[in-house]
Amino acid sequence: EVQLLESGGGLVQPGGSLRLSCAVSGFTISTSAMTWVRQAPGKGLEWVSSLSGGGGDSYYADSVKGRFTISRGNSENTLHLQMNSLRAEDTAVYYCVKVPLVGQLSYYYYGLGVWGQGTAVTVSS
């Protein structure tokens, strides 16, 4: 069974940093494309970043480009999101999402499969 468990959220001051992690089980993260999605309080969903399967190609929303970095730790089967220069508008629940396979392929633009439960990030002084 595929499972995703996010951690690392919390309260941080504007300009600060946080590193989110997503521990996965039931599949090998090294070959799967993965995505982070966030949801601000009372708002809709926003795509944040994606990482291609296998290779190291990464993709970012304009709102986080240059501040956030997505990566995977293959040995620990974990996805990370390093968030720097945080702003109040980054306050949200952050979800880790596995990209579905189409055949044997996993491209980030295929979209969204299994979601984690989310981890809350609050940026406030």
Partner 1 sequence: QIVVTQEPSLTVSPGGTVTLTCGSNTGAVTSGNFPNWIQQKPGQPPRALIYTTVNKHSWTPARFSGSLLGGKAALTLSGVQPEDEAEYFCLLYYGGALVFGGGTKLTVL
Name the site residues for partner 1 (rule: CB under 8 A): 35, 37, 39, 44-47, 50, 59, 61-62, 95, 97, 100, 102, 108-118
Alpha helices by DSSP H, listed for 35-108, are none
Closest approach, Cβ 111 to partner 1, in A, equals 4
Closest approach, Cβ 15 to partner 1, in A, equals 26
Whether the Cβ atoms of residue 123 and residue 14 lie closer than 8 Å to each other: yes
**Closest CB to partner 1 among residues 16, 26:** 26
**Closest CB to partner 1 among residues 60, 122:** 60
* C-alpha–C-alpha distance, residues 78 and 4, integer Å: 9
**In this structure, are strands 45-51 and 34-39 parallel, antiparallel, or unpaired?**
antiparallel
User: Of 28, 47, 52, which Cα lies nearest the Cα of 37?
Assistant: 47
**Closest CB to partner 1 among residues 103, 125:** 103
**Local structure of 62: helix, strand or coil:** coil
Closest approach, Cβ 107 to partner 1, in A, equals 9
Closest approach, Cβ 99 to partner 1, in A, equals 9
